[in-house]
Structure 1
């Protein structure tokens, strides 16, 4: 009697790629709040969205 051959599934030989880690300062959005200052005394009047300088707007952690 011959032995039964089995094949390995693709999931077992090739694991799914891991999702990249999110950037900590922006939370994965790529933007951070920047305070807008006006006037002679440079008083804060509000906030606007600015580019995250840690990940440069990609939203992924550059160290991973």
Structure 2
């Protein structure tokens, strides 16, 4: 009787998930405090692009 050959399927090579940027938590935007007046008192916040990941949301070192 002939032997049956069994082949295994190769494992799918899925790329790892990109790491999330810690200063912006993956959103790409960070809050910057707005200061006005001679004494430079804070009056609010505005959104700005994250300078660590440049708005991509992924960690630059990963």
**2:54 alignment partner in structure 1:** 56
**RMSD value, Cα:** 1.2
| 1:29 CA drift (Å) | 0.5
Alignment of 1:19-30 (within 5 A): 19-30=17-28
| Runs of 4+ off more than 6 Å | none
| 1:30 CA drift (Å) | 0.4
Does 2:22 align with 1:4?
no
Aligned residue pairs, count:
62
Q: Distance in 2 between matches of 1:47 and 1:19?
A: 31
Q: Unaligned 5+ residue runs, structure 2?
A: none
Q: State the SS of the aligned residue for 2:47.
A: strand
Q: TM-score, normalised by structure 2?
A: 0.87
**1:47 alignment partner in structure 2:** 45
